Structure 1
């Protein structure tokens, strides 16, 4: 299932399962922000405004919102993705209410809106943030907005680096095994001073299999 090439007039929510939809949203945002040189920081992964999903009805957008909340309800507040020695990583969804700025079907920040112009401001919409919570040894913890982290990687390294991360996730969803794109992840980890082999990483991400299986649901 291809998460990148969805015709603009086709609602992706109708055709993709939840896991592929998340990849699709992240890929579209990375591509747009890079091509226009926008900051795109501090944004949720999803809102309930149909203006942020081309070709989709409001009902379809709410359906996707419910899917992600249902996954959170099934698996709990902190969903374990990885365990590597004393390091643990969790997926966390947080819901809130607020305002968004939309440009050509994409959520953008207020500063980005001022830069590109012709934005629409939408008030009082439900927002869903997707975080990566990393617990280190002791009580040290980092909480990263996943779209922000990928935008940062694309700016510091390249868009291709982010695409490799998304492709790795996609292949793991499809086949249950890590593709050669894992070398990109290992390279980033090694830059942090951690020496991790492919086998160690493969064992570390085993908790993610159950999550990805649940995120392949395609129900209302």
Structure 2
């Protein structure tokens, strides 16, 4: 496997999602958010608190905080990815969006995470659900419906606003983070980075897992074919 653009780990993968447009490659799709008046301060405070809870929960391995900050669709999606890690064949895994491939390979590399009632909870508690600093801070927040708001993604290194948006959904009286949309942005960015590098998405995903885990490339490639 030849990878001419080798990632340095999860932080760089997220950075690709934030900065891909500046690299001259294909820009990942961005939610089109209509201009809105300044958001209500109460909404801004609630959305910001949800994002802060998610960020701190990820870095502290607090699965209760992370799951409590995610919308229902995201929790269900994380459960489906764990099921794929246990059952999916090679072709299915390689055809998954890049963010889902990263999770599937992580589960297969650490099969003990699939034990118990909630593999994603195990993933968070193991400190493998991402890194707080890779998310950047939350920029301006704009409601687009009564139950949907977007927050500007900022560059983790410079705090400058980027074209990307994190999505939040109100469930009942609580604003929750849409991790599915965040993973879509990440997958789009990895697709663009792989295209620029002239490699397959699965090659870039595998190289990222090698960097994160310290495993040899052959072992990681075998994760595509070997179920736990």
Report the TM-score when normalising by structure 1.
Answer: 0.29
Report the TM-score when normalising by structure 2.
Answer: 0.28
Q: Which has the higher helix share?
A: 2
Higher relative CO (CA 8 A, sep ≥ 6), structure 1 or 2? 2
Q: Which has the higher strand share?
A: 1
